[in-house]
Amino acid sequence: MVTFIRKYRIYIMTVLLATVIILISRFIGSIDFDKFKMYLSEMPGMFAGVVIASLISYSASTIAWSLCLGDAGKKISFSSLFMYRHVGEMLSAFNPTSVIAGESLKAAILYKKGIDGTKGVSSILLHRVLFVISSVLLMVFSILYLTIDSITSNGTNFLLIIIFIIIIFALSFLVLRFIVHPKLFIAKTIDKLRKKTKWKFLSNKLIHSSYEMNRVTSDYFSDNKGRFLIAFLLCIVYWIFSAIEFYIVLIMMGLDISLMQTVVIEMGVSLFKTIGMVIPAQIGVEEYGNKVMLDVIGVESNEIWLVVTLMRRGRQLFWLLIAGIFAMLISKKSNIKLGNNRNSA
């Protein structure tokens, strides 16, 4: 599967992008621009709020990464680590190789700054694992929220809701326990799945990576339970403040919406972005994801969708500009050539 995607990546990306553009064109074609103009006066305030929320989100992520570095994190200031993380994440968003490019850059910068190569890579892996776990947990809660909302609207017995909540919490606890268990249950499960199914996409490289990530997570949890929990909570904070971007925009347009509803939107959009990660910056895919998730919570206005999309893309362009400035500072102060980092680590 992985080989197939790599071989036909351009064709897959073209078909996916064309499909999304056609769908988005339908939405734009039905927009009432007279109504859209009513929201223009609120956009400067919306944009400021979105940028502040994203700043808090990125800061929480940076602190989580610092905790993943352990004692080595004390060697690097918060501002420097913020720059390294941000440049790496922007590269991940716009580079065709996606996450690999951004994470490789982070590892190269840490190595140049005197952080042991193994320690640097381990911190990046752990940080990524915590992000995945926190996103999956919030996705579960989002599904739970939508399910409960559907159940209650149909007048179903409240006891069923309580049972459903207990099951979700129990499953979440078991998954987290497997991830941090010293016997590496997650990696072993994937390995056994490969042997039984013979699925080609479960390559030796993927199995090796799963064991490495499972080991890093387990070892860190065993030695640093407090730091692990704080870093995990900070990753959740990252996602919540990403959701607050939606909350700020929708509230300023006069919608009666809850924070939990915007969390549902954020997690749904992040899923769309993951599916469309072969497209640089997920152009078109994120916009379509915004539309679908707004519809899910009952916001069907195309004018509101356009405002939300412009604010989110505007925020991304703002931080892309900041990433460019950070890249120049890193290159100048640390003598690191960011365009040629393959042999740096």
**340 domain residue, yes or no:** no
Q: What pLDDT is attached to residue 54?
A: 96
**Domain presence at residue 341:** no
Instruction: Tell whether 131 is covered by a domain.
Output: yes
Is residue 345 situated within a structural domain?
no
Q: Is residue 109 part of a domain?
A: yes
Dihedral angle over CA of 138, 143, 144, 150, nearest 10: 150
Asked whether residue 344 is assigned to any structural domain, the reply reads: no
| Residue 341 predicted with pLDDT over 50 | no
**Structural domain contains residue 252:** yes
Predicted confidence at residue 269, as pLDDT, reads 92
Closest CA relative to residue 65, chosen from 231, 314, 281, 254? 231
| pLDDT value of position 342 | 41
| Least confident piece of the model among 134-143, 153-162, 213-222, 280-289 | 153-162
Residue 43 included in any domain: yes
Give the structural domain span for 299: 2-334
Structural domains counted in the chain:
1
| Pairwise CA distance, residues 306 & 35, whole Å | 11
Instruction: Mention every residue, 6+ apart, whose C-beta is less than 8 A from residue 337.
Output: 331, 344
Q: How many CA atoms lie within 13 A of 244 on its CB side?
A: 17
Q: Which residue has the higher pLDDT, 30 or 113?
A: 113
